[in-house]
Amino acid sequence: MTTFSDGFAHFLPPSRSRQTTAMSEGLVVVDANVLLDAYRYTSNARNELFAALRSLGDRLWVPHQVALEFHRNRSKVMVGYDDSYNDLLKALADFRKKHDDEFVKHVREFANRVALTGDHQRSLLGEFAKAFDVLHEKINDLRAQHGISDRFITDDPVLRELQALLDGKTGGPLSAEEEQAAREEATQRIESEKPPGFKDAGKDDPCGDYLLWHQSLKEAKLRQKPLLFVTRDSKSDWFLTLKGRTISALPDLVKEAYDIAGVDFVAMATRSFLIYAQSILKTQVSESTLKQSDAIRQSLSHSKKKHFFISEELGDQLLAQALQDRALSSERLDRINRAIQLNSGNPKMEAELKTASRVAGRVQVQLDLNDLFISTLRGASKMRGTLRLEMSDWLPDEIARRQARIVQQEDDPSSEPKSSINGVVDQEPPLVD
């Protein structure tokens, strides 16, 4: 007789026991972003991360796809991190240059008012300069703690440590035939939004996550060990997320690991991995390292949202709607402007003219925004039925609002106002046209 949950284990979040088994006995695969984040930690935190990975011994393994993505993005991460410090130091220098003379002027005016001695003036100005020097020094201290600079491109101790750590623990490339088949499968999954990897539809290589998954399952099947995947990301094509809380690996992936490799599958964020490494593997992990892991995840989750993805079909509908809006509102604006010209100088129409001018101004602003939306849609890149739009703060809300209009129009064709760009449906003033 079967138990109540037989055949449904993949729907259940991993128990403490499953996580402990995966951590202490499983094949541990780390994502490329975990390795690249080594450049973002301070040197002490980086050492603790490497010690946790080293404690896994031969159970640590990276697929060929992870190694490829690491080497492909390594230089960009290093230069970008060093540039961040340079940008901050430049901003500090620019701020000081801009406000130095102004502060000196205010100090002299103050000295004249209260009869301040020259020594006291010089003391105040010295403290002002000292504050900038202290801040400059603190920034350079932080830079030294991270220990990363663009010189690492040619002389990279982090890379050397990873090479030693992962020697003999890196998978080889797939054969040409197997890779081709895997890429075809990845493409089908993207089109049907089957995990993992469908969230990467707009990437230069959208098949990367599935290649990682395919290679990991092969190795786990060969070793017959539970598969533990460690990543900084918490994307919905890897993780089950409810109300902003990450619950576990997607049930579909857990089931696929059982079906294909005959093993359990557990996924966890870098921070969780470090906590389990501390409690189960007895490695040293400081609170500072955990906080840095959180800070890196949060900062990169915001900064990397550079694109917004919609289906090509929705894009065509939105473009048609925006073009119709432009035609209707341009006609409306011309009509109002003609009426304003006809009634200009008529004292009896003064109030109506003011209202008409206000409405015309608002319609013009919304026409400009509508044209920006059209330009954004037309500038989108296409890939397998998906449009990749350049992200702007206003874009998600604008698409949601326009999509709601499309649904409303489909349900009730008579509901669409004649001109409704961003809700501007002000009643036109009663002018003679």
Q: What is the pLDDT of residue 146?
A: 65
pLDDT band at residue 162 using 50, 70 and 90 as cut-offs: very high
Q: What is the pLDDT of residue 423?
A: 34
Q: What is the pLDDT of residue 382?
A: 80
Choose between 250 and 295: higher pLDDT: 250
Q: What is the pLDDT of residue 420?
A: 39
Q: What is the pLDDT of residue 431?
A: 47
How many residues belong to the chain? 433
**CA separation for the pair 129, 293 (Å, rounded):** 35
> Can you give the pTM of this predicted structure?
0.61
Q: In sequence order, what are the beta bridge partners of 381? A: 388
Q: Is 363's pLDDT higher than 80? A: yes
pLDDT digits (tens, 9 = 90+) for 93-131: 777 777 777 777 877 877 777 777 778 778 877 887 787
For residue 417, how many C-alpha atoms fall within 13 Å in the half-sphere facing its CB? Answer: 11
| β-pair type (27-30, 307-311) | unpaired
| β-pair type (386-390, 381-383) | antiparallel
Of 276-280, 308-312, 413-417, give the lowest mean pLDDT range: 413-417
- Identify residue 116 by its one-letter amino acid code: L
Q: Is 412's pLDDT higher than 70? A: no
Q: What is the pLDDT of residue 35?
A: 95
CA 147 to chain centre: 25
Q: What is the pLDDT of residue 88?
A: 75
pLDDT band at residue 305 using 50, 70 and 90 as cut-offs: low
Count of CB atoms situated within 10 Å of the CB of 353: 19
Which residue stretches of 10-58 are H helix? 16-25, 32-36, 43-54
Q: What is the pLDDT of residue 157?
A: 87
For the ranges 154-163, 195-204, 362-371, the one whose mean pLDDT is highest: 154-163
What six digits make up the tokens of 124?
Answer: 């105040």
